[in-house]
Structure 1
Amino acid sequence: QPQLHGATALILERARSCLHTAPPPANPETTLTQICEGLTHLHDAGWIHGDLKPANVLVMADGAVRLADFNTAARLEGTHAYAPPFTSRDHTPPEQLWPEMDERGARIQPSVDVWAFGILAHTLLTGTHPLPGTTTAARCDAATRYARGTQQLHLSTTLPPAWQKVIRDCLARTPTDRPDTHTLLTRVRHASHHHPRPLATTH
């Protein structure tokens, strides 16, 4: 096309919506598996997403999902990366709510994405947040208490045991106790195929 002469054009997949605005997925286990696959690929490439949340998971026309919004993605330097303060506080691990900053930003590890995945998984599977509170501020306070050992997670009793274990481990108080994404992906696939959620009873 003449109007594109000399220009650089980016051709991207067209998303239908994102998890934040789309209806709940018919099969959230499949959605979570795809998200975890994306995180595994990202971490293997040496990057941390740093802002995993429903608004940053695009839903395509066929229902498949894609990770999006890499504005705060950080390149790993060994075991850590440096990033600006997190803005999506509902999905921020407690160790990053008030992080120490230097000229390069806050020091983060891949475990921040694993924590965010645990929050996202509980929300998709149950419709609720795994920490108590009706506002983001209240849930942040609960996350801080949880990190100090004075608050427990509020995992839904409707979750099958395998999913409860996956989410609980993603939300481990100590970042080094959270699984890496390869281990997490294996467990997510197992939970999805062998421990689906019970179907709702109709009357």
Structure 2
Amino acid sequence: MKRLIDLTLAVPLFILSSPIIVITFFLIRFKLGSPVLFRQKRPGLHGEPFYLYKFRTMTDKRDSMGNLLPDSIRLTTTGKFLRKYSIDELPQLLNVIKGNLSLVGPRPLLMEYLPLYNQEQSQRHNVRPGITGWAQVNGRNAISWEEKFKLDVWYVNNHTVLLDLKILWLTVLKVIKTEGINQSGNVTMETFKGTESTLGEGHR
């Protein structure tokens, strides 16, 4: 049922948003150059890796040692606009159509975070990850990692079709209000370094 809803909504949404996708493609190509898409390996259902697609919002500027500069420096004005209205997320509709993502589920984070989760937090991978989720409509990047993971696990244990529809509606409202995009003091979410329970287990 969840997969059917994903396809029923994602395919029309991709078609309807195709003019915005095309305009954004050429805007990024002109402003930032190639590549236009940001492609990164992320953990999917049961932690199985897949490639997530987003529109590129940052430059590749590096320091004299070849290290990438901080996100706050690399994030462009165009990138800020795309993030503000979640336009950079539109290519993920292709991930939904392919079956890597669901419209609703815990956000897929970085592969290197997998060993840092405690037993409870790792439950977030018991369902297919999503473009939006319970944590996104309850704070997004403005809440701590611990709060975010608790919301993710709650969703895993309580998700229903009606809850998914509620989350999708709340997501639309969040995008319109542009709430919770940044963590306080950061343009992106700070790096997850594990909790005390995982640190005590030697980052297995």
Q: TM-score, normalised by structure 2?
A: 0.31
Q: Which of the two has higher C-alpha Rg?
A: 1
